[in-house]
Amino acid sequence: MEKVVEILSSLKSGVDFHTAEGIVTNKIIDSIDIASLISMLEDEFDVEIGMEYMENENFDSAAAIWEMIEELAEE
Amino acid sequence: MQVMNKKKVLKGICFVLIFVILFFFFQKLLQAKWIASDSENSASTSAWIEYRSLEENSLDVLFLGTSHSYFGVDPMYIYDRTGITGYVFGGPGLRMDLTYMNLEDALKTQTPSIVFLDMSSIQFDFQQEEAKCHKVLDQLPMTSSKLEYAFNTESEEMKPLDVLFPFFRYHSRWSDLGKNDFKYVLNDLDDTYIRGHYITYQSKETEFHFYEDVDYVLTERNLDYIKRMKRLCDEKGIQLIFYKIPTPTWYESQSEGAKEIAEMLDVPWLELFYEVDEIGLDVKADFRDKNNHLNQRGAEKLSAYLAEYIQEHYDLEDQRPTNKKWNEDLIRYKKLVELKIPK
Amino acid sequence: MAITSVHFLIFLCITFCVFYCCPVKYRWVALLVSSIYFYVMAGAVSFLPFIVLTSGVIWICARIIGRLYEEQDEKLKGSDLGRAEKKAIKEQYKKRAKRVLMLALVCCVGILCVTKFTRYAVRYLNLIAEAANGSAPFSAEWILVPLGISYYTFSTVGYILDVYWKRYTYEPEFLRFFLYAIYFPHIVQGPISRYNLLGQELKKELRFDSRRIVFGMELMLWGFFKKLVIADRLNIFVSAVYNGEEHAGSIYLVAMLFDAFQIYTDFSGYTDIVRGASQIFGVELEQNFNHPFFAKTVPEYWRRWHMTLGGWFKDYVYYPCTISHFMKRINKRTKKTLSERGGRFVTVVIPVFVTWVLTGLWHGTGKTYLAWGIYYSTLITISVAFQPEFEKVTKFLKIRTDTFSWQLFRMLRTFCCFMGGRLLTSPGGLRRTLMVIKNILLHLQAWCLTDGTLFTYGLDWPQLVLIAGSVLLLWGVSMLQERASVRELLEEQNIVFRWAVIFAAIFSILIFGIYGLGYDAAAFIYAQY
């Protein structure tokens, strides 16, 4: 979880990603940030994010991202 | 719930009502106008305004036809000489269908004793330019004949919707609006004493003979509308008379055709083409343009002739001693004519 | 049947009556029938087989994919399998589903490409043949371009991809799906819909709601105003300038400005009309424009302009491209050979270019649209890749970024970028684009704006004053819309004010709209004899 927040912070400074909600729906990070985010997440956690997971709710907060990573790791 | 719905329906009706009022207001404002006081305007929009300002059932004679009529017949001149009240209803190059619609509308407020129909209209078996049609159509109320006309136009540019609601045709005229447009909406136009006539002293020498003849066939449409006019006059007990204003744009075959219709419908037929000398027309001075319209000098001669004809055949009261309105208008009219006489 | 024609309004009235006379359960059928009628009237009967084919293929294939997934879930649920076995089953089904998907995509995108690119290809083949033996042997006249093919292909392809990616399950009824594809408000020019949104909208109970109907009509009015009063009026000027020979640079500058507002009011006006029309039937279509001229950066601009297209490309091209194995391999390699930042740069650039070049080609075929795609890819890449440097520069120059003036500057900058993009496609060919740029730089002739030349392009000064006024109104309304729903605001007002606004809108459109034959004063005044 901390790692996710760290990665997010490196993409966008000035936002507290511990508490931030709706970071995609409210356009705090855009599609280009998401592209970078995915490649960093994949490197960091050694998972593969497929198109099935490319939905707003999976990226809308640090917690949601963490949840998705855990789910992916289980597979 | 019931109350709510009633309220909604009422609101809806109000909305539509306001829309209709505004629509016709803007339509009146935007439509093209041919106002007599705008110098060079013939068969003008004001002719209809004036007609509607007349006292009901105050007309003795109505003259219908094309531009030949409003150039050639001067009702005020006739009134001045005989006390017979008359009115000219003509439009440029009108076919019989539009002439019929003119008559239909005219008879709503007036029941003249005689209707003169100038047969020049039988020449026109094609649709006139759009503007000329609009000139007449825009003044006529929504009637079944207008609907029939709207859905049977032959030209591409005349859309039924534009005929019925000229608003759609004229909407882009907003940047051209002038003083008379607003005066017209407020019914504030002042030239209501001309009786549909067009005064001009322009003149041109004319040759007077038949054109080289053509194969002329009366179209189904024209014949149909002539019959309708006859029927309408019969219903109201009006004497219909066919005549031809003497102008050289006339073929022998057309003259024959007109005579045939007159005989078929049992209507008197006055072919004045042969009566140029009788009327006293001077081909050098009494025509406005080559081979076409009479000018004021010619119109006065023709009107005098017609007045005599009417007096001879029909017994109409001389209104001069009693008709205050017409006498007043006559004074104004005479002033206008005087103004137009070239110095 | 154009959307701004009387016929469309009559069609809408009849559909409205039929629709609300039907029992709620069958109202969607009324929409289906009227949509098919609209499609035939607006296009041709010969277009129908295309849309039936595309939606048919997509529907069947999505159904097969959906069934495969159901089967897979059955198998996974039913037995106690090990992790490896489960994975193998999943892989196996994924492969089968992928085959079906590919079949559908090749078929439908194939039809789209053939209809869109054949004419262009034939033109080039003919040029080659002409150079070789002096005659042009090929003809592409027989190619039909069915109405709305880019739109319905995209909506249906989006659906099958979503089913494939398990975002939602397949639609069991074909006619329901066909209605989604051919639904008349969105068939001609979008918005490109998503099945999980529009499909569900069309499935709900479509009940009579007078408030919503009034809202729909108001939105249509606003759309008509934008389209007929502003866009079509600007179009007179823009097309006179771009279709003419060569003009002064200053005239071109005005044309560029007008062109930007023309395309915006035309397209967003159109969208408002169809969204309003759809609302009358209780069906919400997606928003397509969100005041793009208020955008402060180019990427933001494209999140506000033709949003459903941008969204489509983002979800179905950009992301798949970004997370594809191919991109991952490139990413790894570049990270090794280049720096971390260089690697990231490449991962951003390639999908952006792929997406934007495809977006360009979607708008139109030919070099101009290719150039347009490259133009936007470059702009976006620059803005992303050099963001740190930009920030340094602003800091170095001590620019206060929290001021209104700075925000205004960014908006104007974005607007200019947009005009630059239009400059590639509007003049009609890259050679003409160069000519326009040359004239702006070398023959500005600013006096053309004041010596009356400006009025010779079809718009006299009352018309230009009207344009200025209506653009001002557009700006005011847009500012309001940014804050709140204008229609809700209007609803709260007194009836006199409310109706005054509505009647003003109706009669502005009827009077100032560009439609019909136009009034030729000369022809009317001289209708004398």
Burial B46-72 (b: 16+ CB within 10 A, else e): bbbbbbeebeeebbbbbbbbbbbbbbb
Asked if C78 and C197 sit in the same domain, the reply is yes
Cα nearest neighbour of C505 on chain B: B19
The alpha carbon torsion through C412, C414, C417, C418 (nearest 10 deg) reads -100
Tell me whether chains A and B touch (3+ CB pairs under 8 A): no
In a domain, C226, yes or no: yes
Please tell me the distance from the alpha carbon of residue C44 to that of residue C145, in angstroms, as a whole number. Answer: 10
- Considering chain C, what is the average pLDDT of its residues? 89
Count other C-beta atoms under 10 Å from residue B17's C-beta: 10
Give the other-Cβ count within 10 Å of B161's Cβ. 14
Alpha carbon distance B237, B232 (integer Å):
9
- What chain C residue is nearest to A31 in terms of C-alpha separation? C314
At residue B43 the predicted structure's pLDDT band, cuts being 50, 70 and 90, is low
Q: Contact B89/B106 with Cβ under 8 angstroms?
A: yes
Any chains having at least 3 CB pairs less than 8 A from chain B are C
Segment among B264-273, B305-314, C76-85 with least mean pLDDT = C76-85
User: How far is residue C317 from each of residues C158, C307, C321, C323, C347, measured CA to CA in Å?
Assistant: 10, 15, 6, 10, 14
CATH superfamily for domain B38-141+188-340: SGNH hydrolase (3.40.50.1110)
Q: What is the mean pLDDT of residues B16-27?
A: 96
CA distance, residue B300 to nearest chain C CA (Å): 20
Residues C235-245 as b/e (b if ≥16 CB within 10 A, e otherwise) read bbbbbbbbeee
Tell me the pLDDT band of A75, cut-offs 50, 70 and 90. low
C-alpha to C-alpha distance for C435 and C443, rounded to whole angstroms: 11
Please indicate, yes or no, whether residues C395 and C450 belong to a single structural domain of this protein: no
Last residue of a domain, one of C426, C459, C494: C426
Distance CA(C185)–CA(C338), nearest Å, equals 50
Do residues C13 and C158 share a domain? yes
B173 interaction partners in chain C (CB closer than 8 Å):
519, 521
Which residues of C fall below an 8 Å CB-CB distance to B?
6, 210, 460, 462-463, 499, 503, 506-507, 510-519, 521, 523-529
Cα–Cα nearest to B39, from C4, C354, C525, A31: C525
Do C276 and C360 reside in the same domain of the chain?
Answer: no
Segment (H or E) for C130 = helix C83-133
Rounded CA gap, C521 and C529, in Å? 16
B168 closest CB neighbour out of C499, C506, C516: C516
What is the reported pLDDT for C524? 67
For C517, name the nearest residue in chain B, comparing CA atoms only. Answer: B169
DSSP character at residue C456: G
Which residues of chain C lie closer than 8 angstroms to B18, CB-CB?
Answer: 499, 503
Cα within 13 Å of Cα(C9), Cβ side:
7
Residue indicated by tokens 């003409």: C432
Category of C247 on φ-ψ map: left (φ > 0), alpha (ψ -120 to 50) or beta: beta
Residue type, B306: L
Q: Is A54 on the interface with C (CB under 8 A)?
A: yes
Q: How far from A48 is each of A24, A70, B255, C102, CA to CA, in Å?
A: 20, 12, 98, 22
Residue-wise pLDDT tens digits, C393-448: 888 888 888 889 999 999 999 999 999 999 998 888 888 999 999 999 998 888 88
Tell me how far apart the terminal alpha carbons of chain A are, to the nearest angstrom.
19
Q: Which residues contact C110 (CB under 8 A, 6 or more apart)?
A: none
The CATH number that applies at residue A42 is 1.10.1200.10
Per-residue tokens: C364 = 């139109």
pLDDT at A8: 82
| ipTM entry | 0.86
**Range with the poorest average pLDDT among B293-307, C111-125, C201-215, C288-302:** C111-125
Interface probe for C, chosen from B19, B168, B171, B204 (most Cβ of C below 10 Å), is B171
- Using DSSP's 3-state secondary structure scheme, residue C143 falls into coil
- For residues C48 and C172, state if they share a domain: yes
Chosen from A24, A36, A37, A39 to mutate, greatest number of chain C CBs within 10 A:
A39
d(CA B266, CA B230): 10
Range of the domain at C120: 6-208
Cα–Cα distance, C439 to C442 (Å, whole number): 5
| Closest to C508 (Cα-Cα) out of C470, C475, C462 | C470
Q: What is the pLDDT of residues C283-321, one digit of tens each?
A: 999 999 999 999 988 888 988 999 999 999 998 998 888
Distance spanning both ends of chain C, measured CA to CA: 38
Amino acid at B176: D
Residue type for C69, please?
A: Y
Same domain, residue pair C201 and C220: no
**Residues spanned by the domain of A50:** 2-74
Q: What would the two tokens of residue C461 be?
A: 């000064």
Q: How confident is the model at residue B109 (pLDDT cuts 50, 70, 90)?
A: very high
- Which residues 289-328 of chain B have a CB within 8 Å of chain C? 292-293
Q: How far is the alpha carbon of C32 from chain B, nearest alpha carbon, in Å? A: 29
Q: What percent of chain C has pLDDT over 70?
A: 97
Give the pLDDT confidence score for residue C3 in this predicted structure: 86
For residue B2, count CB atoms less than 10 angstroms from its CB and return exposed for 0-12, middle for 13-18, buried for 19 or more: exposed
Query: CB-CB: which of A39, A49, A55 is closest to C347?
Result: A39
Choose the closest CB to C510 out of B42, B134, B167.
B167
Burial C62-84 (b: 16+ CB within 10 A, else e): bbbbbebbeebeebeeeeeeeee
d(CA C179, CA C200): 12
Say yes or no to pLDDT of C265 above 90: yes
CB C483 within 8 A of CB C243: no
According to the model, what pLDDT value does residue B49 have?
85
Q: Which of A37, A36, A20 is nearest to A28 (CA)?
A: A20
Are residues C320 and C359 located together in one domain of the fold? yes
- How far apart are alpha carbons B229 and B99 in whole angstroms? 9
- Nearest Cβ partner of C529 from B32, B42, B134? B42
C521 has pLDDT over 70: no
> Looking at beta carbons, which residues of chain B come within 8 Å of C516?
162, 168-169, 171-172
Instruction: Tally the domains of chain A.
Output: 1
Q: At what angle do helices C27-42 and C174-182 cross, to 10 degrees?
A: 50
Q: Which residue among C367, C394, C426 closes a domain? A: C426
Q: Is C8 helix (H, G, I), strand (E, B) or coil?
A: helix
- Cα separation, C218 vs C275, in Å, equals 11
**What torsion do the CA atoms of B106, B108, B111, B112 make, to the nearest 10 degrees?**
0
Computed over every residue of chain B, the mean pLDDT equals 88
In a mutational test of the A interface, the residue from C296, C322, C392 whose CB has the highest number of chain A CBs within 10 Å is C322
The answer to the question of residue C456 being in a domain is yes
Among the listed ranges A12-21, B52-61, C25-34, which one has the minimum average pLDDT value? A12-21
- Is there a cis peptide before residue C292, judged by omega within 30 degrees of 0? no
**Which of C460, C512, C521 faces B174 most closely, judged by CB atoms?**
C512
Q: How many Cβ contacts (< 8 angstroms) between chains B and C? A: 75
What pLDDT score was predicted for residue C478?
94
User: In 3D, which of C241, C296, C276 has the Cα closest to residue C422?
Assistant: C241
Q: How many residues does chain B have?
A: 343
Alpha helices (H) in C338-366, listed in sequence order: 340-363
Sheet holding B114-118, edge to edge: B86-90, B61-65, B114-118, B239-244, B269-271
Task: Flag if C344 and A36 touch (Cβ within 8 Å).
Answer: yes
Q: Is pLDDT at B153 greater than 60 in this prediction?
A: yes
Number of CB pairs < 8 Å for A and C? Answer: 47
If you ran DSSP here, which 8-state letter would residue B171 be given?
G
- CB atoms A34 and C352 under 8 Å: no
- Residues B195 and B73: their CA atoms lie apart, in Å, by 10
Name every residue whose Cβ is closer than 8 Å to that of residue A16 and which is 6 or more positions away in sequence. Answer: none
Question: For residue C258, is it within any domain?
Answer: no
Contact status, residue B42 vs residue B90, Cβ threshold 8 Å: no
Same domain, C203 and C220: no
Quick one: how far is CA C529 from the chain centroid? Answer: 52
The reported pLDDT for the residue numbered C525 is 61
3-state secondary structure C316-335: HHHHHHHCCHHHHHHHHHHH
What is the dihedral sign for C-alpha B179, B184, B187, B189? Answer: positive
How many structural domains are present in chain C?
3
Provide residues of C within 8 Å CB-CB of chain A.
87, 161, 165-167, 299, 303, 314-315, 318-320, 322-323, 328, 331, 344, 347-348, 351-352, 380, 384
Phi, psi dihedrals of residue B126, rounded to the nearest 5°: -115, 160
Predicted pLDDT at B39? 53
Give the integer Cα–Cα distance in Å for C517 and A10.
61
Interchain contact, A54 vs C318, CB within 8 Å:
no
Looking at the domain assignment, is residue C514 inside a domain? yes
Distance CA C515, CA C468 (A): 20
pLDDT beyond 80 at B213: no
Shared-domain flag, residues C272 and C329: no
